Structure 1
């Protein structure tokens, strides 16, 4: 009997480790929410090492409005999506573009931000001014982003080679050092990076991109998705949502 009890206990521990949501001390669900590590101004670390940003603040405001608890897991975009698919996370908020392809695997919230894509080059580069100037050259993109999708859609037309990165700072550095001549990035992310001295400049008009949404696996965690949508509507109506945007994106 003792052996059976030990095996049962071990099984329960394993389930607690490998399933998404856990429980707090009072028995309430604690949702595991995965996010990116460096996608400023949506998620990044401040000087104290705390994760902050538009996504982080929106999630916190919605959780407070709806009364649910969550554990934030900054993993990087690719790892965050992998965690969701392997049931290590209940949801992902990481500047994730809502696309038809992704809708086949995930259920998305209502859009919480409408983005767009721009091309940037080194601040000292006066030769690359348009897509036509990219022929035969290397262009950097971040895996899983709207910028990467857009660059892939025009790469053959303009004859450039793509170089992929998992983190935005590495992508920027590749352009600054001249290994790649340009990169494609979501406009608010690039604008924020330039304001913080990433060494780049925007040389194109913004291409319309997809909207960002909070994601869960298809047909799972519907209650979490419903709470996110309800909370989003409430913080928009209260003005909290705009307050968060104004905190990270300069209004001129």
Structure 2
């Protein structure tokens, strides 16, 4: 006589949720991102050497990137009713040192910029935000967003140099149709460790707030558009930091005018003018 056993399973709530997700119909997820990988050697032997002039804020890119860097973005529209919707976007970045085929991740709150080129890699959350589209009936087409994101960055790509970039965690409303332009306003906060107490000499983090206001897509000539921006940045110091005798008022302004000319000999041309004060 054969005895048939029925296996018993004990599922914790988290595993039950995972099982439900696996059994649910697959949802289309938007995939986007960026990846580069370079490997080389020097004439005198050893690893590839990437050159950057002392004090320069950027380096040239092609043939001068000595790491594997990837940004993997996943997004999903999670709710939609008529013209209204919510969209969740995310991006995880990885940077390796090209040391070997197996490089473990490491934890670094500064993003790995100051690490020597040793074994290991860095993982960072570059974007994680929610965007609400058409939620305000009086502002059709406008988006409300909150979270961490790349915010309307402007760069010289071959230099990998961002001359207008206030990306980070924050909130805002963008692409408000004014008829002659699209208006956007955002509040962004970033934290650094540049502040040093005069009394003790120990460093501490500073919360930096930036108010960003822009008018974009202003038609000024055939195939030419103008973007105007104003940024006000201020250190949001704690009471203890403000009582420090070495404290100086840390705030600044940045004004940007950028003209983009399309259909320019088969491509486009950008001309940007900026004026800024200390502190931003």
* TM-score interval for Structure 1 and Structure 2 normalised by the shorter chain: under 0.3
Q: Which has the higher strand share?
A: 2
Q: Which has the higher helix share?
A: 1
* TM, length-normalised to structure 1: 0.22
Find the structure with the greater CA-based Rg.
2
Structure scoring higher RCO (CA < 8 A, sep ≥ 6) equals: 1
